[in-house]
Amino acid sequence: MNKFYDAFYTMSSEKQNLPRIINGAIFAVVLILGVFLYKAPPSVFPDPANGFRVMRSMEMGGPFNHLVAPDQGDIAQNTSDFLTWWSPGQYLVPFAFKLLFGVNTGQASVLTTILCQLIGLAGLYAFFKKIGFSPLVSSLSLLFIGCQQFFVVPYVFYNGGETLFFAFIGWFLYGCVSIPNTGWRLAAFVLLSGWIGFFCKSSVVWMYFAGLLFLWIRLSFGKALKEWIKKGLWIFLPALISVAAIWLFYLSKGQNPATASAGIKFTLKALCFPLASPLLAGFSADDLSHGLIYHTGSVIFPGVWAIIVLLILTELSLWLIVSIFKRVPNKNYKLLILVFYISAYAFFAFAYLSQRSISYEARHLRVIGLLVIPGTIYLISRARPLYRTLFNLLWAGIAVTSIVYMTKGYFNNKNKSAHGVTGIAQQAIDQKSLDQIMALDRQNTNATFVFVNHSLGLEIKHNRVIIEQPISDDLKINFDDYEHDGHAGPLYIILPESYAGPKEKFILKAFPDYHGWYGTMLSDNYVMYAAK
């Protein structure tokens, strides 16, 4: 790796080809992994699984972007809700692949992932060069990104909006630093990037405004107040049209994570989590710790230890930002980081302090991590050999954990997970149980299936589905969220064996108009309760 950094200083004609070799290798690896993934599609996270439920509703004749499901008040009737909690692109792009090529949902998610990663890598490389970094630093930055766990997650779990966001953000940032002056091209960029960004991921809205603020400052800096106003109108009028259309035709039709607040509550994590975003989001610190605050696996840093680690990461992140400001020469790059870092802190600190329904996950702040990576590579290229070596060891450690995560996840999805008509790797059930469920689905047309997993309902093609939220071990639940009144044909409730006891009784009680339950062991690990 040190040879790469040495090449930064003296790039001979041979070394000038090194960026092309690195880029070519990265793109080739993505394509090769895509071939393997297409043969054994990944599992799916809950958020895009809900998007696929909307796609399923549309495939069954429902209106655009509506989730059609049995009504809680009377399951003999259906409700049709316009989905505004998540961005539509996470299922509409795979849906397009299904319609164009006749592939299943799992294969469509793979095509989406590979296309978005290739587009995203190209966009980030173009942006890194445009913002002032050499081709070698830009290529090494791509390599560093490719080694991060957040980059390989889609090979194990399709993560919907995160995948589309990666395709969008580099080209959006490139546009923000490329447009030289006002005019129709600027207006078109502002208008369309708002719509495209929101289509990819709804949380792009704050990044959209941060990018436009940077663009306004860049075009107006050093000019008279009249020019600031004039250039501001060229930017913010099309932005207003873009956001107004998003609100009118989408957000106003339902709830989203920013609509509900539980009141202001001052906590250290709310104040520090956005500040620590450079390391949490750019160096996979949040992923490697299985979620520092919002746990996504076995807890590595419990309780107060998570806060201590967060404080350390906050200090290191602030040190990194200051170091970039001191040593990286490009003024536009420093301005871009400043605007995005302050905007991210203002938005997320307020959201966390007001207890909005936004999780403490670094993926929400991924753009900050992507922005600091080329600056970090630049700093290391000029650092002493000892610091280069330490950074290389850190880089290697991250790469190894990412490879292990991807390899274990891939073979688990391929060999251990169940596979149904969607092609998605169903980790929440075994093949024997899923086969029996799909057989029941083929034998009935007026039944209702109940699951406590968001993706299992996607395997039901001929009947209706109810998804109950998983019940945690502390049994802190609101019965009103689970109860479904009314009666409508056979009801099949599929539960893991771990639900035996209070959880199982609670789920059965949630359907008071059904009686005479009888259980059938689908396998050693799953049971089905039926009532007619």
* Domain range annotation of the chain: 1-178+384-427, 429-531
- Residues 6 or more apart whose CB falls under 8 angstroms from that of 188 comprise 238
Question: What SS3 state is found at 351?
Answer: helix
Angstrom distance (rounded) from CA 373 to CA 173: 14
43: left (phi over 0), alpha (psi -120 to 50) or beta: beta
Structure tokens at 346: 């203002």
Query: Is residue 364 predicted with pLDDT exceeding 80?
Result: yes
- In the chain, the N- to C-terminal Cα span, in Å, equals 66
Strands 448-451 and 491-496: parallel
Q: 235 with 305: CB under 8 angstroms?
A: no
pLDDT at 27: 97
Query: Is residue 127 predicted with pLDDT exceeding 90?
Result: yes
H or E element: which one contains 526?
strand 526-531
pLDDT at 86: 81
pLDDT at 8: 46
Angstrom distance (rounded) from CA 134 to CA 142: 12
Question: What SS3 state is found at 264?
Answer: coil
Q: Could you identify the residue written with the tokens 């690896």?
A: 29
464 strand-pairing partners = 448
138-147, 251-260, 464-473: least confident range: 251-260
Question: 502-531: string of b/e by CB count within 10 Å (b at 16+)?
Answer: ebbebbbebbeebeeeeeeebeeebbbbbb
- Note the pLDDT tens digit of each residue in 289-313: 988 998 877 888 988 999 999 999 9
pLDDT at 413: 96
- Note the pLDDT tens digit of each residue in 69-124: 999 999 999 999 998 888 899 999 999 999 999 999 999 999 999 999 999 999 99
Q: 372 with 324: CB under 8 angstroms?
A: yes
- Note the pLDDT tens digit of each residue in 62-83: 899 999 999 999 999 999 999 8
- Residues 6 or more apart whose CB falls under 8 angstroms from that of 365 comprise 274, 277, 280, 281, 344, 348
Structure tokens at 128: 């890194």
Query: Is residue 16 predicted with pLDDT exceeding 90?
Result: no
Q: Helices 366-381 & 385-415, crossing angle to 10 degrees?
A: 140
- Residues 6 or more apart whose CB falls under 8 angstroms from that of 415 comprise none
Angstrom distance (rounded) from CA 320 to CA 282: 11
Question: 215-232: string of b/e by CB count within 10 Å (b at 16+)?
Answer: bbbbbbeeeeeeeeeebb
CB atoms within 10 A of CB 315: 14
- Residues 6 or more apart whose CB falls under 8 angstroms from that of 249 comprise none
pLDDT at 13: 46
C-alpha triplet 71, 72, 77: angle, nearest 5°: 25
- Residues 6 or more apart whose CB falls under 8 angstroms from that of 306 comprise 269, 289, 292, 293
- Residues 6 or more apart whose CB falls under 8 angstroms from that of 519 comprise 527, 528, 529, 530
pLDDT at 355: 86
41-45, 47-51, 186-190, 433-437: least confident range: 47-51
- Note the pLDDT tens digit of each residue in 138-165: 999 999 999 999 999 999 999 999 999 9
Angstrom distance (rounded) from CA 253 to CA 231: 33
Question: What SS3 state is found at 496?
Answer: strand
- CA nearest 376: which of 366, 389, 391? 391
pLDDT band at 9 (very low <50, low <70, confident <90, very high): very low
Q: 111 with 103: CB under 8 angstroms?
A: yes
DSSP state of 451: E
pLDDT at 435: 96
Angstrom distance (rounded) from CA 268 to CA 307: 8
The predicted model gives 222-243 an average pLDDT of 94
Structure tokens at 212: 């436009």
pLDDT at 11: 45
Question: What SS3 state is found at 313?
Answer: helix
The predicted model gives 48-61 an average pLDDT of 92
Q: 4 with 389: CB under 8 angstroms?
A: no
**What is the Cβ-side half-sphere exposure of residue 183, based on CA atoms within 13 angstroms?**
4
Question: What SS3 state is found at 272?
Answer: helix
pLDDT band at 12 (very low <50, low <70, confident <90, very high): very low
